[in-house]
């Protein structure tokens, strides 16, 4: 990869995912029967870092893993994807982050995460000048402590770096962090939990983006197979329908979108053009035709 390309810095989570396939998602008190399981590289931060590299930028990551087999798997996967992981710490005395995700035959899924080492990322590490070399975009999510997000956003603002917050899972965003965010990315559920009305289609996604734009400079609301809506600073809201594809799996589609969006912004594209590119990348991802990602262990 060319050393002259801009860098997307992802400060975020790394999870060793245990994927379980079943005909349907279990209800409360139900024991469903699965058909297959396999380990998979994951965590919103890790997935977004990989996607940013696949979308044409250099990718760098700040994170933490344990000194265990899960951590070794995650570090190997970052290496395979050519993500700069010099700032990913290995921490004794705590397990690596992990998740269990159940996917039904339609491709939809539900998951539970155990954060582990992700909760021990050191905010002080974000002051290292070497970390910020050539960085043009910063990606944050809510699977790491709020103090880490805030420290990263503060450091980015002083370096003229575009700050992207993928507010997932949804939680209250402190005013200081909100004011440092250039682009908020949320899905339908997260938009509603952030104060917008229910999103069921593109029209309601546009309404949600418009509502949230009262608190953020730029807002992107993704609505799955319907597409997305964005409201840019000082502009009119825009709806972008999704490319129609046969769904193989929706797992990681939002991370693919966010990582691609960050890469295209780092490469100098407008938010509208970057959203078109990210939407197309997410469509390829759910169809199973995306660029090669770190290998699963089957």
pLDDT tens digits, one per residue of 81-118 = 999 999 999 999 999 999 999 989 887 878 888 999 99
Closest-CA residue to 250 (of 296, 291, 286): 286
Residue 291, pLDDT score: 57
Q: How many domains does the chain have?
A: 1
pLDDT for the residue numbered 288: 84
Regions in the chain scoring below 50 on pLDDT: 292-298
In-domain check, residue 230 = no
Residue 291's closest CA among 7, 46, 51?
51
Residue 85 falls within a domain, yes or no? yes
Question: Quick count: other Cβ atoms within 10 Å of Cβ 151?
Answer: 19
Q: Is the pTM of this model over 0.85?
A: yes
Write out the residue range of the structural domain in which residue 265 sits: 7-25+36-181+243-286
Distance CA 284, CA 206 (A): 23
Helices (H) and strands (E) in the chain, counts: 8, 13
Positive or negative: CA dihedral 214, 217, 223, 226: positive
In sequence order, what are the residues at sequence separation of 6 or more whose Cβ sits closer than 8 angstroms to the Cβ of residue 64? 14, 88, 89, 90, 91, 117, 118, 120, 121, 122
Let me know if residue 202 belongs to a domain.
no
What is the layout of strands, in order, in the sheet containing 227-231? 84-91, 58-66, 7-11, 135-141, 162-166, 183-187, 218-222, 227-231, 238-241
> What are the Cα distances from residue 217, in Å, to 39, 181, 294?
38, 7, 34
Assign residue 130 the CATH number of its domain.
Answer: 3.40.1190.20
In a domain, 210, yes or no: no
The closest alpha carbon to 193, from 178, 174, 212, 180, belongs to 212
Q: Is residue 296 part of a domain?
A: no
pLDDT for the residue 150: 97
Domain assignment present for residue 264? The answer is yes
Phi, psi at residue 187, to the nearest 5°? Answer: -90, -175
In the block, which residue shows the tokens 């418009």? 210
Question: Backbone dihedral region of 22: left (phi > 0), alpha (psi from -120 to 50 degrees) or beta?
Answer: beta
- Decide if 155 is inside a domain: yes
User: In angstroms, how far is the first alpha carbon of the chain from the final one?
Assistant: 29
pLDDT of 298 reads: 38
What's the token pair of residue 61? Answer: 């990551």
How buried is residue 269: exposed, middle or buried, by Cβ count under 10 Å (0-12/13-18/19+)? middle
| In a domain? residue 131 | yes
CA 298 to CA 292: how far, in whole Å?
16
């Amino acid at each position: 990869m060319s050393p002259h390309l801009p860098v997307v810095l992802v400060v975020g989570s790394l999870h060793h995912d245990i994927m379980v396939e079943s005909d349907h998602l279990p209800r409360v008190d139900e024991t469903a029967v699965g058909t297959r399981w396999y380990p998979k590289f994951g965590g919103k931060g890790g997935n977004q870092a990989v996607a940013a590299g696949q979308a044409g930028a250099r990718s760098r990551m700040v994170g933490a893993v344990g000194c265990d087999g899960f951590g070794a798997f995650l570090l190997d996967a970052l290496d395979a994807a050519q993500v700069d992981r010099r700032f990913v710490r290995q921490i004794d005395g705590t397990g690596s982050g992990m998740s269990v995700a159940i996917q039904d035959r339609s491709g939809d899924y539900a998951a539970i995460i155990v954060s582990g080492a992700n909760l021990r990322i050191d905010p002080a590490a974000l002051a290292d000048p070497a970390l910020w070399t050539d960085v043009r975009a910063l990606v944050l999510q809510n699977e790491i402590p709020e103090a880490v997000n805030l420290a990263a956003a503060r450091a980015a603002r002083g370096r003229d770096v575009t700050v992207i917050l993928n507010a997932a899972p949804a939680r209250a965003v402190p005013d200081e962090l909100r004011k440092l965010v250039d682009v908020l990315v949320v899905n339908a559920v997260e938009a509603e939990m952030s104060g917008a009305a229910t999103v069921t289609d593109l029209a309601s996604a546009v309404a949600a983006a418009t509502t949230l734009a009262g608190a953020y400079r730029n807002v992107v609301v993704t609505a799955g197979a319907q597409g997305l809506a964005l409201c840019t600073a000082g502009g009119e809201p825009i709806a972008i329908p999704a490319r129609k594809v046969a769904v193989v799996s929706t797992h990681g589609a939002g991370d693919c979108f966010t990582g691609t969006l960050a890469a295209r912004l780092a490469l100098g594209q407008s938010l509208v053009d970057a959203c078109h590119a990210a939407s197309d990348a997410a469509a390829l991802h759910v169809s199973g035709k995306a660029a090669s990602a770190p290998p699963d262990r089957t």
